[in-house]
Chain A
Amino acid sequence: MENYFKSSIPPTREERMETSDAFHGSSCELVDCSRCGCLKGKDRRFWQSSSACQMSLSIIMSSTIENSVIIMHGPIGCGTALHTLIPSTNFGKSARGLPVKPFNWLSTNLTDTEIITGSEKKLKETIEYADRTFRPEIIFVISTCAPNIMGDDIEQIINDEQKVVSSQLTAVHCPGFRSRVVSSAYDAFYHSLFRHIKFEPIPYKDYVPASEADGLSLIRADAYEYKRAHNVNLMSLESSGAPDEQELTRLLNLLDLNVNVMAEYANSDKIRFFSEAALNVSLCEMHDDYILSYLRDKYGIPSFVKMPLGIRATKEWLIGIGAHFGLEERAKRLADSEEQLLLKALEPLKEKIKGKRILITGGSVRSANEAYLLQELGLEIVGLVGYLYDTNADPVFDELSDRLPELSVIVSDQPFEYVNQIRKLDPDIVLVHAGYNAVPSKLGFNTIPEFDVGSSYFGFSGVYQVAKKLAFALDSGSFFKHLGENYESPYKRGWYDRDPFSYHKK
């Protein structure tokens, strides 16, 4: 992968691996298909605007970084989603105890003139304006479709401008048309970080270098080395909130590990310590493979990847990380005692939700793991929809095909397919990717979010919170019932009788 790291523009997921957004079958077939390379060609005759683009995730990730400014390099509409993303990242900052300040962002507002004559001058002016007006630590230039079609050399501008501004300057390259899978944004964001933002502590700023002349400094260096050997980078997800980070940090702290949550909600000072960890803990197979490879290649940091969702998975997660540090027995004891506490607390909730039929929809890896959690809670899983798929998820779906071989798996983020399946499957409740709750709710189905950054899903406390959410939602049925009875569907009545995959191209 090394040549990708050196290239000025990051690769899309399609360039690196098999990807899909249109599949239905069993998890076993999905993995087979991924391995034999038959996923990519799949297409539809009808598409809806449900999958956003690389830019949308890139701006979510960038806007979490403290003391930064975002410059949307494109026409005026690109990035206006920031109007609502900023209140939610502000909420995230506040939940993590970080100060909430006005978040500044600008659009280069490309118009006909720049489309014809080039946008370099305007971008330079905007960078300099942002630097002197807001004095940020980092400026993210988000390069959208238009400058990419025009062929502007954004990286050259970044290199030139870095000489005249005091902020650290970087560019997130995310032309939406180049990738069908928004997960390309994770790579684009991390590529922008390691390419232009400092990843290593600075001597005399972050530490005093050890010297033979100062005996104490050698002792301090040893002490630091001991600490570093117990540092864990906990890789953030857009779908995990402060309560999740707190729960996982709590568990790792109980093993005497130091946890740095990276890179969302970090700042330039924290990012310099990205390289100072003994282990990178990633919570999602599809999220971090690019940055994990980079950190392994460049700094030799190994990684541990697993989603701690559900009791069994959380225990395995904790014990797996413990094993890396030679603390397997301790981790096992901790996991057992946490499990005992949880099981007791869960009893009354499980009574209320057991046997309910649930449809799981959302991120592929997330959905597969959530299936185990829901099974542990005694629910019956009627189907599983993952929005996007790539090769990274193969091991997850391998495991799923062992554990739940009968389960039908769909890869789709298309509302028209979704409403059709929901009506046919008629579940008691639907687990829905955040932002997509309205469609099934209006159809009259109980819903709870598949993730919600305001509450806990991961770890032991997460299991309890999910059970609580399910019990609450299943007990507030009239809200959804009234909605369903008064909903006007935009889809023709006949659509609900047809095969939901009628618009897949053969």
Chain B
Amino acid sequence: MSEQIEQPRTTCAQGGALATINALPHVIAISHAAEGCAGNLTNPISFCSGYNGEGYCGGTQIPTSAIREKHVVFGGADRLREEIKSAQELLDAELFVVTTGCMTEMIGDDVQAVVREFEDAETPVTAVNTPSFSGDAYAGYEIVLDGIFNGFVQPAEKKDPKLVNIFGIVPNFDPFFRGDLTEIKRLLERLGLKVNTFFTPDQTFENVRSSSAASLNIHFSHVWGTGFVKNFEKKFGTPYFTADLPIGAYATEKFLRGLAKHIKISKKLLDKVIEEEKESYYRYFAKTVDVITNSQFFYYSAVVANSNYALPLAGFLSEELGWHVEDVIITDILSKNRKAAAEEAFRSTGLGAELLFEPNAKNIEWHLSKKHFRDRGDRYFDAHSPFYLVGSSIDKYAADTLGALTLAVSYPVRSRLIANRGYAGFRGGLTLLEDLISVPLSGR
């Protein structure tokens, strides 16, 4: 039996599915659920990742079968059929994706059968089963990827040796997903690659269609989407390369050199790009060193984030900012196997921090405040101060208890507005530096 959970930093499978679908270009979800489901999910999707908004046809505009009491008794397939038909007439989309909620799964509606009736419709329709009692938002992301890419996308006639797909960054639940993908794309394009990010504003549905022609899937998650990229390889023969999302110069250079082992990139070009990027990076970085060293902006720290972001963040703080990362607390709800994968990735970073898997806010606060107590009544005491908690907006209360500075970077982020901000790559590293150090500066 799973445990009760305090302030879940996720939502249901349908929520993750809707977030992912909303972020795809001209793909519209149809929620086969009670009217409230997608409506209520507008909040955690549109407002908890730096106020990302409804998007093209998300949030309150998501078509829904609006299942009512009579459908619970007699089944909701007819209502869904009618909804899809109307959506075909009304909405401009490249693809409709039907998602399901708890109720329609409990009453056993066969959505796949309904969708098959629309094989010849003007706008194609596919369906994914996303009952919330069998997975959370991250699972919803995986289910949608499987449904669209491994289910709907057709095999390409031939591979494009320069084309790569990027997966693993979970829309909204990785709040900086757009900015991060934009920077990764910029770097890879400098290396002569063509990049399908799927979720950035420059993408069209053609990027989704062409994904099967990619020669490599870059997978920025040790935990989420692993099964999906394996299935993708089986179906389309595209291998995958799993890496941490690189933040800052050190990690990004390492990532790009690692990538060159998986796809053909000219060595000369790679060296040139890395050299130029690093030069620019350190020219900017050096400007900030005056205040950082003069004001001693170095911290003991804890990273409280999902498994995708925790390690890259901890790596950046430790490797590039010289902070002491004491704790890495992974907050997504992980099965045994996924925990093992995250643990393995953590070990390979060589970080000296303590790793903890803990989704509950209060337990995180207790863990940190027991470990980093502020005094012991001793004359000499090696207190972990000043302390910086890099986490989510929920963790500000833990930071208060610890007397720590804090910045919200992990879901939910409700204290900041995020438009094109990202922390990945060279440029993202500088942005993260700006954001982190602006916190102690904000009182000036």
Contact = CB atoms under 8 A, between A and B. Distances in A.
Interface string B48-77: 100001101101111111111101100000
A480 to B, nearest CB: 16
A415 B92 contact: no
A241 B10 CA distance: 30
A119 to B, nearest CB: 10
B132 interface: yes
B13 to A, nearest CB: 8
A111 B134 contact: yes
A276 to B, nearest CB: 35
A416 B12 contact: no
Interface SS majority for chain A: mixed
B273 interface: no
Interface in A63-81: 71, 74-78, 80-81
Interface string A90-105: 0000000000001011
Nearest to B47: A84
Contact of B31 (A49, A104, A126, A435): A49
Interface string A42-80: 000111111111111000000000000001001111101
A81 B40 contact: yes
B181 to A, nearest CB: 20
A125 interface: yes
B103 A177 contact: yes
A109 B8 contact: yes
Contacts of B288: none
Contact of A47 (B66, B134, B137, B362): B66
Contacts of B34: 53, 145, 176-177
Contacts, number: 218
B433 interface: no
A48 B5 contact: no
Interface stretch (A315-323, A395-403, A490-498): A490-498
B40 A56 contact: yes
A113 interface: yes
Given A77-B132, A81-B43, A84-B414, A125 B90 contact: no
B5 A106 contact: yes
B44 A490 contact: no
Contacts of B107: 149
B349 interface: no
Contacts of B63: 46-49
A421 B382 CA distance: 67
Interface string B90-115: 11110000000011001100000000
Interface in B2-60: 2-8, 10-15, 28, 31, 34-44, 47-48, 53-54, 56-57, 59-60
A439 interface: yes
Interface stretch (B81-89, B153-161, B296-304): B81-89
B2 A113 contact: yes
B425 to A, nearest CB: 28
Given A56-B40, A415-B61, A490-B61, A111 B2 contact: yes
Contacts of A330: none
B35 A109 contact: no
Contact of B64 (A48, A108, A115): A48
A176 B35 contact: yes
Contacts of B394: 83
Contacts of A17: none
B225 interface: no
B136 interface: yes
B133 A75 contact: yes
A199 interface: no
Interface in B335-369: 361-362
Given A50-B61, A75-B133, A104-B7, A491 B91 contact: yes
Pick the most buried of B14, B39, B86: most chain A CB atoms within 10 A of its CB. Answer: B39
B77 to A, nearest CB: 15
Given A76-B5, A76-B136, A49 B86 contact: no
Contact of A111 (B35, B87, B133, B397): B133
A4 interface: no
Interface string B126-150: 0000011110110000000000000
A386 to B, nearest CB: 17
Contact of B91 (A55, A75, A107, A490): A490
Chain A's interface size range is 35 or more
A192 B14 CA distance: 29
A325 interface: no
Contact of A53 (B39, B87, B134): B39
Contacts of A81: 40-44
Nearest to B366: A133
B286 interface: no
Interface centre among A84, A113, A435, A503, by most chain B C-beta atoms within 10 angstroms, is: A84
A113 B66 CA distance: 26
Given A104-B6, A115-B106, A46 B35 contact: no
A490 B56 contact: yes
Contacts of B315: none
Interface residues of B, number: 74
A439 B87 CA distance: 18
B40 A55 contact: yes
B412 A106 contact: no
Nearest to B136: A76
A30 B317 CA distance: 63
Nearest to B10: A76
B36 A122 contact: no
A272 interface: no
A102 B362 CA distance: 10
Contacts of A149: 72, 103, 106-107
A107 B57 CA distance: 28
Contacts of B54: 438
A177 B69 CA distance: 6
B15 A51 contact: no
A10 to B, nearest CB: 15
A71 B8 CA distance: 12
B195 to A, nearest CB: 23
B43 A84 contact: yes
Contacts of A115: 106, 133
Nearest to A14: B69
B4 A439 contact: no
A78 B40 contact: yes
Given A84-B43, A503-B86, A491 B69 contact: no
A108 B362 CA distance: 16
B28 A490 contact: yes
A85 interface: yes
Given A51-B35, A53-B40, A492-B90, A46 B83 contact: yes
A435 B39 CA distance: 11
A177 B72 contact: yes
Contacts of A71: 4
B69 A178 contact: yes
B15 A415 contact: no
Contacts of B92: 489-492
Nearest to A52: B39
A52 B56 CA distance: 19
A45 to B, nearest CB: 5
Interface in A460-506: 488-492, 495, 503
A46 B60 contact: no
B86 A46 contact: yes
A431 B199 CA distance: 33
B102 A75 contact: yes
A293 B339 CA distance: 54
A14 to B, nearest CB: 9
5 contacts: A45-B86, A49-B38, A75-B12, A76-B10, A111-B133
**Top 6 A-B pairs ranked by shortest CB distance?**
A53-B36, A77-B12, A81-B43, A49-B38, A46-B86, A490-B57
Given A84-B412, A490-B56, 7 more contacts: A47-B65, A49-B66, A77-B136, A84-B48, A145-B102, A146-B133, A149-B106
